[in-house]
Structure 1
Amino acid sequence: MQLRRSLLALSAALLFLAPLARAEAPQVQTQVPGYYRTQLGDFEVTALYDGAIELETKLLKNARPQDLNALLARMFVGNPKMQTAVNAYLINTGKNLVLVDTGAAKLFGPSLGNIAANLKAAGYSLEQVDTVVLTHLHADHMGGLNDAGGQPIFPKARILAAQEDNDFWLSEKVAAAAPEGMQPFFKLSRDSAAPYLAKGQWATFAAGSELVPGIRAVKANGHTPGHTAFAVESKGQKLLIWGDLVHAHAVQFAKPGVSIEFDVDQKQAIATRKAIMKEAAASKVLVGGMHLPFPGLGHVRAEGKGSYAWVPVEFAPLPARP
């Protein structure tokens, strides 16, 4: 009898607890802040995620459809639309706080425009940025210079652009001679630069220039006339931030001869990509790319003659500082 009463009591208790076990937790439906930090010698490098946008695979040129489809499927990348990240990089040299590109703001829709928020989430303020260097003057790289009202958000920064891109994208004369479909892109560039030009915070640089100690401009033209990579070096450790050398990682590492419609000079863009990939694979330098899967940091591995693979970094803690 005692055993029966105990079993009945246990059954009642389990019945009471059952609803608790079935209680549903609401889904959070948010992602973690988009930043990733790594150490480069004495420099702290923080990758910042602006967001992602879907590009039509038909924008890729010089690829047979069957090859394109196979490469996209091999890397489980969407087709006919592929997701493409937009990244920026914040470099704290100890003396300068340098932002490489600013993202797109909301110029291309709500899926982008998170650089400022992620910079703050990473522990910095917009006022602390003293230098902004631009790989080129496409709006998805400079649109984040201003807020939604067109006001500058980097009050203390000097903005540095390659002379060739400055003379191309900010020229109303060049814009007027361009195809009608391109003219809105010229206007986006001029509008983004205007507040800083008015305040005297805008300046240009030449390839090979050291922009701040430890960061040097590297000529990488083709995608735009002044498209620039940046070599970052501290205590013998090196990072090459190569801007828009690659838009479709699933395709353009294996086939560097594939270009994209946005390349101003398709032939030169291909030649630049081939040369930089060959050097990066040989030197094993750490690479950062604005349209590589976030955080866009990794290495280039040779995969045979003229073909390469992308090897992303593994998530890792920062080394202990003395």
Structure 2
Amino acid sequence: MTHMTHPTHWLRRGLAAVAGSVLMLSFAAHAGAPQIKTQAPGFYRMMLGDFEVTALFDGTIELEVKKLLTNTTQAQVGKLLDRSFKKDLVPTSVNSYLVNTGSKLVLIDTGAGSLFGPTLGNLRNNLLASGYKPEQIDDVFITHMHGDHVGGLIVDGKLAFPNATIHAGQEDADFWLSKANLEKATPEMKGFFQGAQASLNPYVEAGKFAPLKEGADLVPGIKAVAAHGHTPGHNTYVLESKGQKLVLWGDLMHVAAVQFVQPQVTISFDTDSKTAAVERKKAYADAAKGRYLVGSAHLPFPGLGRIRAEGSGYVWVPVDYQQVR
């Protein structure tokens, strides 16, 4: 007797075929959607004892580091870049750090503002996205007066942080804010002086600039430590709360793929490269020995982690991404 297929079998097969076609069309439609090409807001938050620390992303700028790094060779730099899967143009982060101590809201460095083009200048938007407003900031501490650290002080010709006092090393103020130094600077250097003066002078004129007093608590738990060399008045900042420590390096280093492996490597942006190298080696050794957190303006965002010694160099260990607690 011939087997008769039940009619519902054909119905089920038909429905399955239709469903499969619909599913394929659905996937095809989704795959054809336009690419969004935007990133999440650039802030990362962590606790340091009782301090809330928020890393703020100003953006990235591509640096041709083979030509910029000194006390090395382009061949050596190229090998180290390749080992870290980097090309000749290295995307370099510009990071700043917002510290809420519970009684004070402090910003350390301000990003580039409008001084370096469209890939930088995102600090203000990321500050707002992080839940804070510029007018809430009590103090701004500047590691040094290069444009990618002070450019964010001014927005559309106005004070970006109208209620804040700006602090920086007296040596940097004497050097970068000098009209005489601007006038005698080489064409390549004039832009550095112009950026610093455009960013700081409005605060000076408003009575909102106060040079740092080295070694004293700027606010409870935050100290400036001289690390001159990159600029005449370059400073790092030490944050301590409940036995936890974070040192913000500013521009003690620029290219992680090279300068952790070879700490002696300097950069053409240094005012005094020999002194900058000494300060870098000292900072690396102390951080590795102390096992405390460090933050750096030009490490990949959020630029927070620890280092350990390895051979004649060091290895960077970034923080784990985690919830604030």
TM-score class, shorter:
over 0.9
Equivalent residue number for residue 141 of structure 1:
149
Does residue 152 of structure 1 match 2:155? no
Query: Could you tell me which residue of structure 1 aligns to residue 71 of structure 2?
Result: 62
Tell me the equivalent position of 1:257.
264
* Rounded Cα–Cα distance in structure 1 between residues aligned with 2:81 and 2:24: 47
Identity %, equivalent residues: 51
Deviation string for 1:170-191 (max 9, x for gaps)? 0011222322321121011101
Alpha-carbon distance in structure 2 between the residues aligned to 1:35 and 1:279: 27
The secondary structure found in structure 2 opposite 1:298 is strand
Aligned ranges 1:193-212 → 2 under 5 Å: 193-212=200-219
Instruction: Output the CA distance in 2 between the equivalents of 1:21 and 1:187.
Output: 54
Counterparts of 2:18 and 2:244, CA distance in 1: 66
Relative distance call for 1:216 and 1:26 in structure 2 (3 A) is same
Structure 1 partner of 2:39: 31
Alignment of 1:215-226 (within 5 A): 215-226=222-233
1:315 alignment partner AA: Y
**Aligned equivalents of 2:15 and 2:122: distance in 1?**
56
Residue 304 of structure 1: CA displacement? 1.8
| Residue in structure 2 matching 1:113, options 104, 117, 121 | 121
Question: Aligned residue for 1:270?
Answer: 277
SS in 2 for 1:193: helix
Partner Cα separation in structure 2 for residue 133 and residue 296 of structure 1: 18
Partner of 1:317: 323
Post-superposition Cα deviations, 1:125-168, rounded to whole Å, max 9, x if no partner, equal 11110100000000100000011x22111110000011000000
- Alpha-carbon distance, 1:64 to partner: 2.3
Consecutive unaligned residues of structure 2, counting only runs of 5 or more, are none
- Aligned mates of 2:149, 2:54 — CA distance in 1: 16
CA RMSD in angstroms, aligned pairs only: 1.4
Q: Is the 8 A contact 1:217 1:229 kept in 2?
A: yes
Report SS of the residue matched to 1:22: helix
Q: TM-score, normalised by structure 1?
A: 0.95
Does 1:304 find its partner at 2:308? no
Distance (Å, rounded) in 2 between the aligned partners of 1:240 and 1:49: 18
CA contact (8 A) 1:150 1:192 kept: no
**1:77 CA displacement:** 1.6
Secondary structure in 2 aligned to 1:167? helix
* Aligned with residue 161 of structure 1, among 152, 168, 176: 168
Unaligned runs of 5+ in 1: none
The question of whether the paired residues in 2 share the 8 Å contact of 1:152 and 1:195 is answered with yes
- The aligned residue for residue 88 of structure 1 is 96
Distance in 2 of aligned mates of 1:281 and 1:253: 12
Question: Per-residue deviation at 1:194?
Answer: 1.8
Q: 1:4: how far off?
A: 3.2
State the alpha-carbon separation in 1 of the partners of residues 16 and 188 from structure 2. 75
Give 1 or 2 for the bigger CA radius of gyration: 2
Contact 1:136–1:226 (CA under 8 A) maintained in structure 2: yes
Q: Displacement, 1:205?
A: 1.1
- In structure 2, the CA distance between the partners of 1:239 and 1:9, relative to structure 1 (3 Å rule), is closer
Q: Distance in 1 between matches of 2:15 and 2:50?
A: 66
Deviation at 1:113, TM superposition (A): 0.4
Corresponding residue of 2:248:
241
Cα 1:141/1:4, change in 2 over 3 Å: same
**1:4 — aligned with what?**
10
Partners of 1:21 and 1:83 lie apart in 2 by 34
Match of 1:77, as an amino acid?
A: K
Q: Separation in 2 of the partners of 1:302 and 1:17?
A: 54
Distance in 1 between residues matched to 2:12 and 2:297, nearest whole Å: 66
* TM-score calculated relative to the size of structure 2: 0.94
Counterpart of 1:99, as a letter, is: L
Any idea what SS the aligned residue of 1:223 has?
A: coil
Taking the aligned partners of 1:283 and 1:171, their CA distance within structure 2 comes to 38
Cα distance in 2 for residues equivalent to 1:113 and 1:21: 38
Which amino acid counterpart does residue 68 of structure 1 have in structure 2? V
Runs of 4+ with >6 A deviation: none
Deviation for aligned residue 1:195:
1.5
Q: CA deviation at 1:198?
A: 1.7
Q: Please report how far the alpha carbon of residue 89 of structure 1 lies from its aligned counterpart in structure 2 after TM superposition.
A: 0.1
